[in-house]
Amino acid sequence: MTKASSKGGNLRDKLDGNELDLSLSDLNEVPVKELAALPKATVLDLSCNKLTTLPSDFCGLTHLVKLDLSKNKLQQLPADFGRLVNLQHLDLLNNRLVTLPVSFAQLKSLKWLDLKDNPLDPVLAKVAGDCLDEKQCKQCASKVLQHMKAVQADQERERQRRLEVEREAEKKREKAEEKERRRKEYDALKAAKREQEKKPKKETNQAAKSKSGSRPRKPPPRKHTRSWAVLKLLLLLLLCVAGGLVACRMTELQQQPLCTSVNTIYDNAVRGLRSHNILQWVLQTDSQQ
């Protein structure tokens, strides 16, 4: 058993009908598990203890209808305090509360509320007013609920506004990403087009080079063979002989001994050749000319 439950003693022994009185029990903690086992205890008195906080599972005690937490040291209530939807009477006198959780607006059954002697936020303190009698405490409950509903609505609007801002920012981000993606696609297509345009030029240049390279080369001039050289030499020799012959027969050199021998050889050669009809015919034609 916990320290709190040991100080509270046997809770069933303290149960009187539907009322459970744990006041003046020097409690530092609320025995939530033990209380959850007593769903009949719809009226719970925890006043005049040393409670500074309430555990979050305290909000699971949804069977509570009347709750007295006065004269403790509570600095705040659990965020899910609004789960106590059956709560009708709530006494928070003389604690250290400054604000109430937004979920407080969900206590739709609340009819009585005392917030005196708490260092409340000025706005909340003005809304709560005094709780000096039954009527004022009921008005406190009604006004505080309306105020907390307005706070909840404001927070919801602010939450929606933030969500809208986040959605707009997300849309802008997605739009920017889409724009960047399209720009990259455009750049890629443009680069591919440039590459495609370069290929025909390269192919044309290569074709031109191949054509220029395939042009037939002029055959190198034939080298003079040895027979050609001999032929040239014979022609030169014939020219020299012819020249010498002409000089010996038509110039004054014909009286020279050498020319006399040359003329004799020529005359003999001519007489020998004239014996052939063809050559004779050639010579006759030449003499006629």
Q: pLDDT tens, 95-137?
A: 999 999 999 999 999 999 999 999 999 999 999 999 999 999 9
Residue with the larger pLDDT of the pair 219 and 109: 109
Average pLDDT over residues 227-243: 77
Does residue 118 contact residue 144 with C-beta atoms inside 8 Å?
Answer: no
pLDDT at position 50 is 96
Q: How confident is the model at residue 5 (pLDDT cuts 50, 70, 90)?
A: very low
pLDDT at position 74 is 97
pLDDT at position 139 is 96
Q: Which residues 6+ apart lie within 8 Å of 24 measured at CB?
A: 47, 48, 49
For the cut 90, the answer to whether the pLDDT of residue 276 exceeds it is no
Give the separation between CA 259 and CA 253, rounded to whole angstroms.
6
Least confident of 75-84, 94-103, 236-245: 236-245
Q: How confident is the model at residue 240 (pLDDT cuts 50, 70, 90)?
A: confident
Least confident of 56-65, 196-205, 207-216: 207-216
Average pLDDT over residues 242-246: 71
Give the separation between CA 97 and CA 148, rounded to whole angstroms.
15
For the cut 70, the answer to whether the pLDDT of residue 29 exceeds it is yes
For the cut 60, the answer to whether the pLDDT of residue 259 exceeds it is yes
Does residue 11 contact residue 31 with C-beta atoms inside 8 Å?
Answer: yes
For the cut 70, the answer to whether the pLDDT of residue 211 exceeds it is no
pLDDT at position 138 is 96
pLDDT at position 225 is 67
pLDDT at position 57 is 95
Mean pLDDT of the chain: 84
Residue with the larger pLDDT of the pair 278 and 137: 137
Please tell me whether residue 90 adopts helix, strand or coil conformation. strand
For the cut 90, the answer to whether the pLDDT of residue 219 exceeds it is no
pLDDT at position 272 is 66
Q: Which residues 6+ apart lie within 8 Å of 14 measured at CB?
A: 8, 20, 21, 22
Give the separation between CA 228 and CA 236, rounded to whole angstroms.
12
Determine if the pTM surpasses 0.75: no
pLDDT at position 7 is 43
Least confident of 78-82, 103-107, 128-132, 250-254: 250-254
CB-neighbour burial class of residue 59 (10 A; exposed 0-12, middle 13-18, buried 19+)? buried
